[in-house]
Amino acid sequence: MLIAASIFPALLAASMLAAACAVLSVIVVLRRWAFVGEGISHSGFGGAGTAWLLALVFPALDRPWVPYVAVVLFGLGTALAIARLTRSSPGGGGATTSHANERVGTDVAVGVFLVASLAWGFLAQHVYVARRNAEPYGFLNLLFGQVGSISPQFAVACATVSAAELLIVAMLGKEIVAYCFDPLTAQTSGVRSGFVHDLLMILIAVVIVIGARVAGSVLIVALLVLPGATALKLGGSLTRVLCTSLAAALVGSTTGVLVGMRWQIVPVGPAIVLSLFLLFLASLLIGRTGAVRARAE
């Protein structure tokens, strides 16, 4: 009974986060935004690094929750910055294609923020260790998550935010689908492409900063790539793809949590990612088998 009670918050947070990521994953794969998620997730190191340096100057800020707040702020700020820089670029799917308004491509914008955030975060971590002779709060948890210590309050908050994201996507489903397949045509049809572009960046950032507590900021991108890649590999209608992505995300996240709780030497974050990877490999095998049968017939 005690084990079940302790694992429930982790399962609730992981499953609801997986559901939100599953829907966004299809969008991320269709828009080829995997690198965008990578850049936003790694920006958390810059936020945590800033918190660690501030803690050296203001010891009262040397608390476990401060780096996580900084991760949230930097993640959202980076998402907005990338959205602004790529909104009018050819790769950004923005509202205009005028060369005068083209700034930088998506890959360039993400790469700039990614390397800068990593460099700043690791620089701050080394300075903190040199001054305090100890690792700063949240360093390892930022890498691999801390799902085993998730409180019921955080689990409920995670579930609420994930449900809100699913509701937003459902309400704007037609506009999002039109934007994902052809932003320019969607814009000429009256879709607010710029707004959808920025909104999707923010939604991705939100699941990343929440997922940092579950799978770690380094590995959370897997939840935004593997479910959608698995579903799209199996094919079918858009509804079927979304359902397959949702099923893959839920199975992978639940399996990872149960494995991590059963064998304490296995971090939950890597366990979730490897479970999703195995599902992706299975989809490749199923797809290849189906292609062989089709040729044989």
Give mean pLDDT, residues 254-276.
Answer: 84
C-alpha gyration radius of the chain = 20
CATH code of domain 2-220? 1.10.3470.10
Give mean pLDDT, residues 52-77.
Answer: 88
Range of weakest confidence among 35-49, 102-116, 161-175: 102-116
Which pLDDT does position 103 carry in this prediction?
A: 58
How far is residue 33's CA from residue 283's CA, in Å, rounded to a whole number? 21
Amino acid at 27: I
Residues 18-46: pLDDT tens digits?
999 999 999 999 888 888 888 888 888 88
How far is residue 5's CA from residue 11's CA, in Å, rounded to a whole number? 10
Give exposure, 19-55, as e/b (b: 16+ Cβ within 10 Å).
Answer: bbbbbbbbbbbbbebbbbbbbbbbbbbbbbbbbbbbb
Q: Contact 144/222 with Cβ under 8 angstroms?
A: no
When pLDDT is cut at 50, 70 and 90, the band that residue 123 belongs to is very high
Query: The whole model's pTM is what?
Result: 0.81
Return the higher-pLDDT residue of 262 and 2. 262
Residue 130 has pLDDT above 80, yes or no: yes
Return the higher-pLDDT residue of 269 and 161. 161
When pLDDT is cut at 50, 70 and 90, the band that residue 180 belongs to is confident
When pLDDT is cut at 50, 70 and 90, the band that residue 91 belongs to is very low
pLDDT more than 90, % of the chain: 28
Q: Looking at residue 221, what DSSP letter applies?
A: G
Residues 209-264: pLDDT tens digits?
888 777 777 678 888 999 999 999 988 888 899 999 999 999 998 998 888 778 87
Report the length, in residues, of the chain: 297
Residue 89 has pLDDT above 50, yes or no: no
Map residue 66 onto helix, strand or coil. helix
Indicate the average pLDDT of the chain: 82
Residue 53 has pLDDT above 70, yes or no: yes
CA 149 to chain CA centroid, Å, is 20
Which segments within the chain are labelled E, that is strand?
A: none
Q: Contact 139/125 with Cβ under 8 angstroms?
A: yes
Give mean pLDDT, residues 262-269.
Answer: 79
- 3-state SS string over 3-40? HHHHHHHHHHHHHHHHHHHHHHHHHHHHHCCHHHHHHH
How far is residue 186's CA from residue 278's CA, in Å, rounded to a whole number? 36
Which pLDDT does position 78 carry in this prediction?
A: 87
**Torsion (CA) 245, 270, 167, 12 in degrees, nearest 10:** 110
pLDDT more than 70, % of the chain: 86
Helix, strand, coil tally for the chain in percent (to 5): 80, 0, 20
When pLDDT is cut at 50, 70 and 90, the band that residue 168 belongs to is very high
